[in-house]
Chains A and B, each alone.
Chain A
Amino acid sequence: MSAPRRNLPFRFIGKRILQAVLTILGIAIINFFLLQLAPGDAAEALAGEAGTADAGYLANLRREFGLDRPLWEQLATFLMRIATFNLGYSFRYGETISTLILSRLPATLLLMATSIVIALVIGILFGVTAARYFNRLPDRLISLVALLFYATPPFWIGLMMILVFSVWLGWAPTGGMRDITAPDGGIAGVFDIARHLALPALTQAFFYLAIYTRLVRAGMLEVLSLDYIRVARAKGISEQRVAYRHALRNAVLPLVTVVGTNIGGFLGGAVLTETVFSWPGIGRLMFDAMLQRDLNLLLSILVLSSVFVVIANLAVDLIYPVINPTVELR
């Protein structure tokens, strides 16, 4: 297909970036107050672990963390930090928050990319096939499988995967991202990570797969009945090409939206999978931060998530008109 000649949508992007900054600011402020509502703080959690409830010790910790300052001052500090990309320090981990997040981000991105690609490939294949064999055996089987995946909680799928593929068959490790004994780089290193990645990625993929299959099937059913599909057939092109070229491209827009949402929501969305498989990603970091009332860390991750969502949405909006030229950027 020859590329459409259109001006780069600079105005559109400028407007959207402004919107994005405001959105993220709003989300940051709301999250800040929401977390204030939650009972307990980092000092209490730490003190609890240390086994003391000594008031002086608590007050000391609070002063050290800045938790004794007035709320508005804490908020201002927090916002300033975000604005300067200096997210501060996690007292739990004894590391700067940016170091923590950066060290966990690759694992999450790898899990996300792999699971979404798997879900997309299989989901499109399933959805297209189901629509082409509407109400016949392949459609019924695929719809049943999709329904099962949809109705089964991902953590349960994860546990079953571990049971079957790790415990019984011994094909894959039960958790983690790499063996301690495995080499750091090279083919062997990549292979080691792939082995660890397989089960969590599949688990997460199954969760998306169900949704993608249903979306593609519904979209294809609608498009396949349209006039231009009959016109395409009247040209003598193959059914394969009619389905994957002429129909799919028109049926795929809702899928793009949902994939965008999934990518945007991934930082928080993979908590269960990362926990079940002890995958060292952001989701687990967030989960731990919550348990430990490490509000600084938690807030930083939440804000990062919102940045992710906003970027994913912007990407979706930019991809739309590339896929379907009747959509115009506004």
Chain B
Amino acid sequence: MSAPLLSIADLKVRIRGNPQARLLRGVSLSIDRGETLAVVGESGCGKSLTSLAVMGLLPDGLEKSGGVIRFDGADLPVTDNEAMRKVRGRRIGMVFQEPMAALNPVFSIGDQVAEVIHEHEAVSHAAAMARVVDLLTQVQLPEPARIIHEYPHRLSGGQRQRVVIAMALACRPDLLIADEPTTALDVTVQAQIMRLLHDLQDDMGIAILLITHNLGLVAQMADRVAVMYAGRKVEEATTRMLFAAPQHPYTRGLLAATPRPGRRRPGEPPLTEIPGVVPAITEMPSGCRFRPRCMLASDICALEDPPFVDGVACHRAVSRELVP
């Protein structure tokens, strides 16, 4: 088997100058060409930081303190801004959560999409604009020839997210990172955008790193799923396996809290929330960070952070419980 397109090994991110504040504690993920990997987990578990670390765009005040990120067979120089500029927008495109805030209000749509083309390719302005029109057509915006002259405030949230997607795909990247691309949109628009991403992926053969906390989207889109909790990966499986046989109590909690449209059979248990909230970074418990919220927690869980073995990081994982 060939090397994965993107592999993240033991990625650690902390607050600069504060070794205690470990926001990512050794995250490992990998994505093959053309594949979709979903990363799920509650708000604040480190999904966005993981993707920003890959882009070399960690916020000021945070630093990568460990780990190796490889992309297309070479180390990704995430701390070298100039080197990363050739990757961003060209090899890896990114779509963010807030379409309403993602476009610069003072530049026309056409100029903003064309900018990424100009940045990475030597093309005339006319040629770039022609490509922008094609791209806007591809993301199914109506009247693209008119929209290139419009300013963002004249577009709806869904339309703006389509523009952002067009921008991310303009240079035909190998990987698209979509960080909660539909969370801010209403349900019908959500479905349209996800279908669009799915179709574009079929057309262009790009890999997608889909960050979401919506397990419904995961079921539709993803080949594999990684579940994160409090700065680390706690479970990973193919989508089918994850839904069929979740291992980690947290994953099971997530699934139990997710409505499955049209599939609620009589006798099926009602939706249940995972009790409690993620502890603050300064108040993390000893051992397993999920322990205070876990109904299966036992003594060993307080002693040691469980290692990630056989697709799950849990002392009490289902598969392990079965072993006598």
A residues sitting closer than 8 Å to B (CB atoms) are: 1-2, 4-5, 134, 226-228, 230-239, 246, 249-250, 323-326
When distances are taken between beta carbons in the complex, the residues of chain A under 8 Å from B104 are 228, 231-232, 246, 250
- Whether the Cβ atoms of B106 and A325 lie closer than 8 Å is yes
Q: Does B65 contact A (CB under 8 A)?
A: no
- Whether the Cβ atoms of A231 and B88 lie closer than 8 Å is no
Q: Which chain B residue has the least Cβ–Cβ distance from A223?
A: B104
Known A230-B57, A325-B105; contact A236-B153, beta-carbon cutoff 8 A:
no
- Whether the Cβ atoms of A228 and B115 lie closer than 8 Å is no
When distances are taken between beta carbons in the complex, the residues of chain A under 8 Å from B111 are 1-2
- Whether the Cβ atoms of A234 and B57 lie closer than 8 Å is yes
When distances are taken between beta carbons in the complex, the residues of chain A under 8 Å from B31 are none
Of residues 92 to 111 in B, which have CB atoms within 8 Å of A's CB atoms? 93-94, 96, 98, 101-108, 110-111
Q: Which chain A residue has the least Cβ–Cβ distance from B52?
A: A230
- Whether the Cβ atoms of B101 and A228 lie closer than 8 Å is yes
Q: Which chain B residue has the least Cβ–Cβ distance from A325?
A: B151
- Whether the Cβ atoms of A324 and B106 lie closer than 8 Å is yes
B residues sitting closer than 8 Å to A (CB atoms) are: 55, 57, 60, 81, 84-90, 93-94, 96, 98, 101-108, 110-111, 115-116, 119-120, 149, 151, 153, 164, 167-168
Main secondary structure of the interface of B (DSSP, over half): mixed
- Whether the Cβ atoms of B116 and A236 lie closer than 8 Å is yes
Q: In the complex the two chains form, what is the Cα distance from A301 to B57 in whole Å?
A: 56
Known A236-B120, A250-B105; contact A2-B110, beta-carbon cutoff 8 A:
yes
Contact among A231, A235, A237, A250 with B106 in the assembled complex (CB-CB below 8 Å)? A250
Q: In the complex the two chains form, what is the Cα distance from A18 to B168 in whole Å?
A: 49
Q: What are 19 A-B residue pairs whose CB atoms fall within 8 Å in the complex?
A: A5-B149, A134-B60, A227-B102, A228-B104, A228-B105, A231-B164, A231-B167, A234-B57, A235-B88, A235-B115, A235-B167, A236-B85, A236-B86, A236-B87, A246-B107, A249-B106, A323-B106, A326-B105, A326-B153
Most buried by B among A2, A134, A228: A228
Contact among B55, B85, B108, B116 with A238 in the assembled complex (CB-CB below 8 Å)? B85
Q: Which chain A residue has the least Cβ–Cβ distance from B105?
A: A326
- Whether the Cβ atoms of B149 and A4 lie closer than 8 Å is yes
When distances are taken between beta carbons in the complex, the residues of chain A under 8 Å from B87 are 236
When distances are taken between beta carbons in the complex, the residues of chain B under 8 Å from A134 are 60
When distances are taken between beta carbons in the complex, the residues of chain B under 8 Å from A250 are 104-106
